[in-house]
Amino acid sequence: MHRRRLLILACAGLAGCGFELRQTPKLPFQSIALVGFAPQSTLGTLLRQQLAATSVLVFEAPARADAVLEALADGREKGVVASTSAGQVREVQLRVKLRFRVATPSGKLLLAADELLLTRDMSYNETAALAKAQEEAQLYRAMEEDITAQVLRRLSAIKPA
């Protein structure tokens, strides 16, 4: 009984303070074209899915869209950060980079070229190579989802003329 009252008070406190879960931002245009992404780009796929979830039509042809998001650079990188004296890798750094700009189909810039770069350090152990490969895939996926959310927030801040 006492726990129930505490739970009700906690929920009422959160509701009264204005707490609200983050939602997908509203975009200032009805359609967008995504160009410049590699055919197998995970970022391109995630952006298409998120934009479709916000009821924005996604086109491949820029002439049919209200805005054009052009990927100038899109990729994953992996580098060795630390190794042992015997040359065994002990730590790697994972990077996901997206450089993009947004314009109208006629070429008027709505958002100048911007770059998003996320990095994560990951320890590495050759005896657990399979587990580390899965951890790497999960880290890449989380970084790409974060970049997608950042792109959507930047798109929602655009003020079309």
Q: How far apart are CA 145 and CA 86, in angstroms?
A: 36
Q: Which one, of 36, 134, 113, 120, lies nearest residue 76 by Cα? A: 120
pLDDT tens digits, residue range 46-96?
A: 999 999 888 788 888 888 899 999 999 999 999 999 988 888 889 999 999
**Tokens 């869209």 label which residue?**
65
Domains and CATH numbers, the chain: 23-156 (3.30.160.150)
Contact 68, 29 (CB under 8 A): no
Is the four-CA dihedral 129, 130, 132, 136 of positive or negative sign? positive
pLDDT tens digits, residue range 33-45?
A: 999 998 889 999 9
Name the β-bridge partners of 156.
none
